Structure 1
């Protein structure tokens, strides 16, 4: 039912002998102030009503509408449609022309604009930090976005309009942060060779770890990021949430430290399988798969997912790799509950 239909229904109710003001306004969100609606006798006296469209502060939103007629005739209101506003109050409304000059005041309120979404993003780990924030306001009113404070992180930069007006289109603002203990970062696509028995830690600078397996001297791993901390120590990422200290490794930017595989490697160590397994990494995290062993990242699989394995191979370091159907290669140490178990 349109607003005009609702108004007419309310006016009809007002003119019923037993009608009350409460029954006329029941179920309506707008407040209506109606003048005396006793049915007048129709005569030929000209009548004019001015319909004013005001905001909540009393400002005219558009030129008043004029409704002409004769005293005693029924009033036909114009279409009520002010872009960006909705009607909240009506004053002076009658069903008939009752006097030569009168006025009806329609009061409007601004509609709500679309929200401004604010995200805090860890630029190095490429993940959100905390929950998104939503700014709300009325259409065409100004907004100003401020960077959220994130414990343990420092703000680097932002992307998106920090100031502006609420519109009919949602907007997004991204704030990029870096761990407060990280002084410098860079991507590293080299390889490291382990010099001594080396523990793997969940983040740079950690002193405790849940990883029980240590990296053996002489083994080689690809690195994906290098981080220099404010305490001047340097750490290398060898996988998701897997970090080793620079003091335990020898670094090269080439492929000289790649394992030298035997000539018959592909025919002797690589063979198809028909198995399933469960990814075992860190609860709530995802582990990378590779385009080829020791190669580039391909995709990720979540901890706890059961995957289909179609190939098994081993290198001369004794590292076992499985090819996950449609997902690339995954080191065997990240798989449990193999079925069949061989």
Structure 2
């Protein structure tokens, strides 16, 4: 059962004020307890600690399959601008003994009495019955306090503030009544943001610069553009999800209206694992490419910026059988194209 919203509302403003005055984090969030009940660090992946609500660094671990052989990679931008991978979520974080040790560590801070002030707020919540009593020590081994975790890459975004509750108790085997509680789908969405897609520097013929009204062939190294999967796992929970991205098309935007694309839509479909096609030696100069661009005007003193964007189809599966599609992702880049007039000699 999640903590009452009213508790978070009155607690967060107080903590946000006093925690901002602390010289640094003097307690450990999450992790394991050693034999003496003290909080010890554990291996954790990306995330950030939200001090005002005892958030933690996420314990989600990721593995990549099919990572591109490229020194430059990026992450997908959802084609649907109304959707993003989650910026924060709640996950199992503290045993009762860990919460007790964490609050006691805060109380030991003697800086202007802030330790007692902040510790008092936490004691009211975890110890004195509002809403928990004696840190739930009588339930040790029966469940954990779930706490907020934030994707470190998005910690400065407003969405990262959505997980503003203090840690709440969840019995082992129960599913919290909380939309942002970690789940297979949230793991899949987190994995979405971790997919390392290769850069989209395109090959062109002619290379270096092209001519007005000359079809320019465009292609990409097909060895780099294959399926990429990221599996996100939360150890100790049995929860795991795999998100797979597969390239489906290359979109060309010439950087000027004085141009034509091949095909006319500017969308080069990926067929047989190939993105475009290199121009073979001996191909007549005026042959239309399966994927490319023809500039109709010289770039003069300022090169055109040719934008090349790969669209990736994204799906997910999980250990509990759930799965489905996620919004397509895009990743692209621009490169300069110099276009010269064809010089002729009048006789």
TM-score, reference length from structure 1: 0.23
Structure with a larger share of its residues in strand: 1
Structure with a larger share of its residues in helix: 2
- Larger Cα Rg: Structure 1 or Structure 2? 1
Q: Which structure has the higher relative contact order (CA within 8 Å, separation 6+)? A: 2
